[in-house]
Amino acid sequence: MKDKYEVVVGLEVHAQLLTKSKAYSSDLNEYGAHPNTNVSVVSLGHPGTLPVMNKKTIEFAIKLGLACHSEISSHQYFARKNYFYPDLPKGYQITQDKTPICTGGFIEIKGENEGQKKIGITRIHMEEDAGKSIHDVDVYDTLIDLNRAGVPLLEIVSEPDIRTSQEAYQYLTEVRKLLRYLDICDGNMEEGSLRCDANISVRLIGETDFGTKVEVKNMNSIKNVQRAIEYEVTRQIEAIEKGEKIDQETRSFDALKGITISMRTKEAANDYRYFPEPDLPPLYISVDQINEVKKTMPALPKELFVKFKTDFGLSDYDAYNLTDNKSLALYFNEVTKNTTHYKVAANLMMGEVKSYLNELGVEIDLFPISPIVIAKLSNLIAEEKVSKTVANQRIFPELLSNPNEEPIDIALRLNLLVESDENNLKSYVVQVLNENKVEKERYQNGEKQLIGFFMGQLMKVSGGKADPKQANSILRELLESSK
């Protein structure tokens, strides 16, 4: 039944910007402060006060626009969106209506079958956050905290290009990654610094008109956006199959039950009465200004992905994993300046380094070993001076406590260098064969697969140091010759 239908989703993302001060006034922009301390007469909406635009907000908006291949508009002005709610003291939100700062563009996501898919961007505009209403602390009253009122936001509106809940997940992951690479939003959905509303509809495959869309709110993780879409799609298809009509409405996602619930309000028809904000003079953005911002653009995930793939010969999987997190990607980029054994270094990063970070729940900024040392360790492994196992299990932990010691010095100090002296290897082999006479005989009677067993024993007696290739040939030689 579901196969007959096509899912159509567009996402609206709100990103709180990492500015020091608010969008239109100088109060501190900071999460988690004591209630109603980061406020000013402007954000409190006192009569006679005037907003003044924060330069940084514009710079951040241009950055995101450039990253999304959008057009940056040269002339724009702000608008008032009027609505009455207690956490909006002015009675209107200062936003952009007819002249968003960025229009068009796209964000690339990992599509199905390893392909890439472009999700179109309709617009990105600048606006301000409202305060916070707390409904569940007091029985009779709602409590209002206006610390968040006036915090700068970018609203990123996608085209209805998303066709599956998985694509929505990918899209949001990419949006968050971009915001973090650009260092303009911390992307924390749990704390609400990144929020997402989904416009969801379904239609029969082949149909060119869109179905009636439902807006779903209150999803506080990327996973929950995916879940909400899945629930909503099933609900809509089942309703249509029963011959029911889909209401155009706003629904709220209940993460515990995994369902969406209608938020029917009396004031269903939004009547925001937009008009130009007279208190903020128009904004002109010159080509020079855009070029200035361009100069400060960091490397973006896509660029690093391509670089890791084409310059370093890494697989899609490796390149994707290493660019998932900005600081990790930049760290790896540093590593590659001191080694050409990219794959070995990548394995170290995704293996030992990542497990260390995951175990401690920290970012790479707190990782004690420098990129150059990781590069040197990669070289030791690649040049077969130490085995991978010894590098991971002995040298790496040693480096964690002595980050300034050279990996080669640790290998020498702990006697960990690969043993390639033929006489020494021979004596290991002799020892192993003497200690395992039964297996030796079985091997000689044709059970050739036992070579693996002997190699394992050999590594054990040599403390993992035996040069595997050399040891293997000596082992075979002695097994054959002592028949």
Q: Which is nearer to other proteins, 140 or 401 (CB)?
A: 140
> What is the distance between the alpha carbons of residues 185 and 175, in angstroms, rounded to a whole number?
10
| 3-state helix/strand/coil string of 438-468 | HHHHHHHCCCHHHHHHHHHHHHHHCCCCECH
Provide the minimum distance between the beta carbon of 414 and other proteins in the complex, in angstroms, as a whole number: 52
> What is the distance between the alpha carbons of residues 413 and 235, in angstroms, rounded to a whole number?
66
Among 2, 71, 133, 241, binds other proteins (CB under 8 A): 133
- Contact stretch for other proteins (CB under 8 A) within 49-57, 177-185, 301-309, 316-324: 49-57
Q: Which is nearer to other proteins, 34 or 245 (CB)?
A: 34
Determine how many CB atoms are found less than 10 A away from the CB of residue 417. 17
> Which parts of 9-28 interact with other proteins (CB under 8 A)?
19-21, 26-28
Residue 424, Ramachandran bin (φ over 0: left; ψ between -120 and 50: alpha; else beta) = alpha
Among 1, 3, 48, 55, binds other proteins (CB under 8 A): 55
Rg (CA), the chain: 30
Closest CA to 313 of 349, 351, 342, 278: 342
Q: Which is nearer to other proteins, 26 or 340 (CB)?
A: 26
- Contact stretch for other proteins (CB under 8 A) within 33-41, 107-115, 337-345, 365-373: 33-41
> What is the distance between the alpha carbons of residues 333 and 330, in angstroms, rounded to a whole number?
5
Among 8, 9, 15, 53, binds other proteins (CB under 8 A): 53
Whether 100 and 74 have beta carbons less than 8 Å apart is answered as no
> What is the distance between the alpha carbons of residues 131 and 150, in angstroms, rounded to a whole number?
8
- Contact stretch for other proteins (CB under 8 A) within 171-179, 239-247, 269-277, 347-355: 269-277
Among 2, 223, 273, 294, binds other proteins (CB under 8 A): 273
Position 143 contacts other proteins (CB under 8 A): yes
- Contact stretch for other proteins (CB under 8 A) within 132-140, 243-251, 358-366, 371-379: 132-140
Among 6, 110, 120, 144, binds other proteins (CB under 8 A): 144
Position 255 contacts other proteins (CB under 8 A): no
Q: Which is nearer to other proteins, 264 or 413 (CB)?
A: 264
DSSP 310-347: HTT---HHHHHHHHSSHHHHHHHHHHTTS-S-HHHHHH
- Contact stretch for other proteins (CB under 8 A) within 276-284, 386-394, 431-439, 441-449: 276-284
Q: Which is nearer to other proteins, 26 or 389 (CB)?
A: 26
Position 86 contacts other proteins (CB under 8 A): yes
Among 12, 36, 220, 453, binds other proteins (CB under 8 A): 36
Position 281 contacts other proteins (CB under 8 A): yes
> What is the distance between the alpha carbons of residues 318 and 363, in angstroms, rounded to a whole number?
19
Exposure string over 221-258, b if 16+ CB within 10 A, otherwise e: ebebbbbbbbbbbebbbeebeeeeebeebbbebeeeee
Determine how many CB atoms are found less than 10 A away from the CB of residue 358. 9
Position 461 contacts other proteins (CB under 8 A): no
Between helix 451-461 and helix 437-444 the angle, nearest 10°, is: 150
> Which parts of 174-213 interact with other proteins (CB under 8 A)?
none
> What is the distance between the alpha carbons of residues 161 and 159, in angstroms, rounded to a whole number?
5
Provide the minimum distance between the beta carbon of 228 and other proteins in the complex, in angstroms, as a whole number: 18
Position 39 contacts other proteins (CB under 8 A): yes
- Contact stretch for other proteins (CB under 8 A) within 6-14, 85-93, 110-118, 313-321: 85-93
**What is the per-residue binding string for other proteins in 364-383, x denoting contact by CB under 8 A?**
--------------------
Position 129 contacts other proteins (CB under 8 A): no
> What is the distance between the alpha carbons of residues 348 and 83, in angstroms, rounded to a whole number?
54
Interacting residues of 447 by C-beta distance below 8 A, sequence separation 6+: none
Determine how many CB atoms are found less than 10 A away from the CB of residue 270. 9
Whether 380 and 341 have beta carbons less than 8 Å apart is answered as no
Q: Which is nearer to other proteins, 134 or 478 (CB)?
A: 134
> What is the distance between the alpha carbons of residues 198 and 109, in angstroms, rounded to a whole number?
17
Q: How many residues does the chain have?
A: 483
Position 68 contacts other proteins (CB under 8 A): no
Position 268 contacts other proteins (CB under 8 A): no
Among 7, 9, 13, 29, binds other proteins (CB under 8 A): 29
> What is the distance between the alpha carbons of residues 3 and 6, in angstroms, rounded to a whole number?
8
- Contact stretch for other proteins (CB under 8 A) within 143-151, 194-202, 328-336, 417-425: 143-151
Binding site residues, other proteins, CB under 8 A: 19-21, 26-29, 34-37, 39-41, 44, 52-56, 58, 77, 82-86, 91, 133-136, 138, 140-146, 267, 271, 273, 276, 278, 280-284
